[in-house]
Structure 1
Amino acid sequence: MEEFTNQEEYAAVLQSRGVLPEGFSTSVQDLEFFPAERETAQPMKMKLTLIEADEPVAAFAGVFTRNAFPGHPVTIGRDLLSSEKVSGVIINNRISNVRCEKGRETALAITSALRELRGREYPYFPSSTGIIGWKLPEKEILENLSPLAEKLTGGNIFPAAQSIMTTDAFPKVRSVELGDGRICAIAKGAGMIEPNMATMLVFILTDLDVSREDLRDMFPEIIDSSFNRISVDSDQSTSDTALIFSSTRKSCPSVKAFRKALQEVCSKLAEDVVRNGEGTSHVIRVTVEGAADDKEACELGKNLINSPLSKAAVFGNDPNVGRFIQAMGDYYGNRGMAVDPESVTMELGGETIYRNGFFTLDEEKEVKLSNYMKDCSFINSEGFPPHERSVELKITLKRGIGRSSVLGSDLTYEYVRENADYRT
């Protein structure tokens, strides 16, 4: 488990993770604009990020939000999954291009202009994140495509991870080597994180030779077991997008080995997103075993990590374990599902807190649990995560063989402040 003492140390680790797989280049460009929806004394800042395959790729896959009001880049992205090949993806932060008039036309105009500029036969995915409801500054973006393209370089994805951030406290990069190749991934996401898909924006690159068919077979399942197992605030974004591209430049040991490596990358990146949640000062991991099935285990776990009372107790380093029991009883009671209170065992930080129908608490254990939660806490505003510890809650049932592990965050003053002041 890694620990970091300053932002520079963390950045150095991300740069070591961020070596680009063979066959890809990235670039970043800053621009300024005045929004059409609100008068501002100073221009707003936006970042453009381009991830481009050196040669168009046929091996790619994508998974998108299930929100019923998807952004225009999402609807375009779904259409592009049927393309023979694609050239890459262009991303902007600050404005998410969701349900605004002529937003689809704007996104297509930008990607078409980029395609013409780069002399590409095959399209680019558009991807946007930020304020919902505002229009993209089409003129300013088009004017900055040329300098964006001129900066394209191989090497490292770390600048792209920084560029796609919005309310994120720090960038997120994960990678793994497999045979002679590698998988490298970045993500942004800090709020509206229970996407029932991915988490805001996730971009994964690999040079390992995995077919289009195999990618599309495994990618939804891996997303489901990683990004679908997290929650910051139980709100599902309109813009969630996860894309994976393979240049197929390197021999892949096996599809099974690739799947395992991709699962590792996505699971680690999903945990990074929770740790980077708006205002987060604790990551909470709820592991449920012995449920009737995996679905029940996942739902129960999410019910606990989404409970405002449970989240607030963890924020206060208060081992008020009754909050966990009430959330568990809420899940089963409101669904009319019978559960035997005497068959449940609950552990917090490895300490048994409930067994055989009774709490197992005393003064010494209360102090120990409070200190444990304090040790798991961190300040999320310094531009780096000081450690990767989590508050570990384990629930064991006797209902079947279902199992799931889900990740969530606590509920802090900073989360409310961030979302109250998001546009002002």
Structure 2
Amino acid sequence: MKKRSICAVSGVTACGMKEGKFGLALIRASGTAAGVFTENLVKAAPIQLMRSQIRKGRLDAVIVNSGCANAYTGQKGYEDAVVMTGYAGSALGVEPDRVGVASTGVIGRYLDLPLIRRQCMEIAPGLASSVQAETLAANAIMTTDLYPKHALVEKETFTVAGITKGSGMIAPNMGTMLAFIYTDAEIGAKPLKEALKLATRRSFNRVVVDGDTSTNDIALCTATGESGKVRDAEFSAALEECCRMLAKQIAADGEGATKLLEVRVTGAAKEEYAAKVARTVIESPLVKTAVYGEDPNWGRVVAAAGRAGVKFDPNAVSLWISDGKNRYPLVRSGEIIADLKKAKEAMNSKTVIFILDLAAGKEEATAWGCDLTERYVEINGRYTT
């Protein structure tokens, strides 16, 4: 079903096109801006450019290409990223240094700039605030994604919305995921940056598909301010909700995935401890394959939690499994009470949830991932061929 999200935000227009593996999207929106980026030491050229460019705290547009990551391409790659901002700036009538740029695709290949320039000129006249235009933009940025990803959070006085792509090379600290988020709230550069960092930490940085952190991860947020001022705390909560919705879609669309895996950790001494345990469980190949096989081998969850580097009493933990509707106890305060038949029934769902109480405090965190299937190997074993 086609969805409208970013184009529901006042002041945002978009469009895109896809030709085989090579797509291009343009998004036009002027306002205060902030960004977060991959923590991989090998950073793609557009990431290097944007880490500098975003310091100005404002964007007027974004240009995104798929099919070529423009990563590990040296000085030429950096110069090509600059050229892309010039293409968008010329086509949209904005200054190039106020154009965000992102790329996704194969690492170690140079951009086809003539193709990008032609696509840019063809797309620019079609920018619109419509379901069709947004769908074209969201489809244009996909690589191995099976479907475009949209999120919309509507509050009484403002809206936050976003589109994203991401399916493989997804791990904490972001993965080959691109996210473009917009709001019509009026908010300053500093609180916008703080809100985006917090939202990212609690959403995109808690998604694991395969444990690889990409060279190209980027999340940009632009505030057009057309709906007026809002309280920082209210905006931060809405932004986090939007990012969480996008993150769950990325996890569910993991390469070769058949199930969404969610791990909720409660009873931790600190939120960061809960997050660390949740991520460790989510990224465990043993847990992921058990979920794929619908094998109620829940001991793998406890074992993974135990190697997370977080202190807790294993004899005090409680564990449940859920399909999103029904919840069944597996361990209560260290005592095994598992009904394996019911646990297997829960694993027959498209969503499998483990709730783990560490009984060590009051903090909690949730992480998202997917099962690990033969299809993942097929996709990545022939990614460039």
Classify the TM-score, shorter chain.
over 0.9
For 2:346, the equivalent position in structure 1 comes to 372
Distance in 2 of aligned mates of 1:216 and 1:64: 12
Counterpart of 1:380 in structure 2 is none
Q: Which residue identity is paired with 1:143?
A: R
Q: Give CA-to-partner distance per residue, 1:42-65, whole Å, 9 cap, x none.
A: xx5411100012xx42x1100000
Contact persistence 2:138–2:148 (CA under 8 A)? yes
> Letter of the aligned partner of 1:421 in structure 2?
R
Q: Is this contact kept in 2: 1:168–1:188, CA < 8 A?
A: yes
Deviation at 1:412, TM superposition (A): 0.7
Hey, what does 1:22 align to over in structure 2?
10
Contact 2:166 2:175 in 1 (8 A): no
Secondary structure in structure 2 of the residue aligned to 1:328 = helix
Q: Distance in 1 between matches of 2:57 and 2:281?
A: 43
CA distance in structure 1 between the partners assigned to 2:225 and 2:279 by the alignment: 37
Pair 1:345–1:211, CA change in 2 (3 A): same
State the SS of the aligned residue for 2:115. helix
CA gap 1:141/1:393 in 2 versus in 1, 3 angstroms: same
SS at match of 2:307: helix
> Aligned partners of 1:373 and 1:398: how far apart in 2?
25
- What residue is the counterpart of 2:55 in the other structure? 82
> Where does residue 41 of structure 1 map in the other structure?
none
Q: How many angstroms does 1:177 deviate by?
A: 1.5
**Pick aligned residue for 1:50 from 11, 26, 29:** 26
Decide whether the 8 Å contact of 1:178 with 1:253 is kept in 2: no
Question: Do residues 183 (structure 1) and 152 (structure 2) align?
Answer: no
What is the CA deviation profile of residues 256-275 of structure 1, one whole-angstrom value per residue up to 9, with x for unaligned ones? Answer: 22222111111111111101
CA RMSD of aligned residues (A): 1.9
- Alignment partners' CA distance in 2, 1:224 and 1:63: 10
Shift of 1:338: 5.4
The one-letter code matched in structure 2 to 1:310 is V
Partner residue of 2:101 out of 102, 120, 126: 126
Tell me, in whole angstroms, the C-alpha distance in 2 between the residues paired with 1:347 and 1:30. Answer: 44
Paired letter, 2:156? G
Aligned to 1:167: 144
Task: After TM superposition, give the deviation of residue 398 of structure 1 in Å.
Answer: 2.5
Query: 1:239/1:338 Cα in 2 relative to 1: closer, same or farther (>3 Å)?
Result: closer
Structure 1 gaps of 5+ residues are: 1-9, 32-43, 378-389
Deviation of 1:144 after TM superposition, in Å, equals: 2.9
Match in the other structure for 1:151: 126
Once the two structures are superposed, residues 88-125 of structure 1 have per-residue CA deviations (whole angstroms, 9 ceiling, x without a partner) of: 11000011100114111111112123323433235311
Question: Can you list the C-alpha shifts for 1:12-58, whole angstroms capped at 9, x where unaligned?
Answer: xx23x454312121121345xxxxxxxxxxxx5411100012xx42x
d(CA) in 2 for partners of 1:287, 1:144? 43
Q: Is the 8 A contact 1:179 1:251 kept in 2?
A: no
For residues 116 and 338 of structure 1, the distance between their equivalents in structure 2, rounded to whole angstroms, comes to 56
| Equivalent residue number for residue 243 of structure 1 | 220
1:50-82 CA distance string (max 9 Å, x none): 0012xx42x110000010000000010111112
- Dislocated runs of 4+, deviation >4 Å: none
Describe the superposition over 1:229-248 as per-residue Cα deviations: whole angstroms up to 9, x where unpaired: 11111110110000011111
Q: Which residue of 2 aligns with 1:411?
A: 372
Post-superposition shift, 1:341? Answer: 2.7
Deviation at 1:249, TM superposition (A): 0.9
Task: State the AA in 2 paired with 1:330.
Answer: R
The 1:79–1:367 alpha-carbon spacing in structure 2 relative to 1, beyond 3 Å, is same
1:399 aligns with 2:360: yes
Q: Hey, what's the Cα distance between the residues in 2 that align with 1:326 and 1:85?
A: 46
- Of the two, which has the highest radius of gyration? 1
TM-score by length of structure 1 reads: 0.84
CA distance in 1, matches of 2:103, 2:56: 20
Rate the CA distance shift 1:330–1:213 in 2: closer, same or farther, 3 A.
Answer: closer
Q: CA deviation at 1:315?
A: 0.5
Residue type of the partner of 1:205?
Answer: Y
Alignment of 1:265-276 (within 5 A): 265-276=242-253
8 Å contact kept, 1:65–1:195: no
Displacement of 1:169: 0.8
The percentage of counterpart residues that share the same residue type is 33
SS at match of 2:320: strand
Give the letter aligned to residue 147 of structure 1: E
Relative to structure 1, is the Cα distance of residues 29 and 351 closer, same or farther in structure 2, using a 3 angstrom cutoff?
closer
TM-score normalised by length of structure 2: 0.92
Q: Retained in 1: the 8 A contact 2:172–2:206?
A: no
Cα distance change on mapping 1:123 and 1:410 into 2, 3 Å: same
Quote how far apart the aligned CAs of 1:356 are.
Answer: 4.1
Give the partner amino acid of 1:373. M
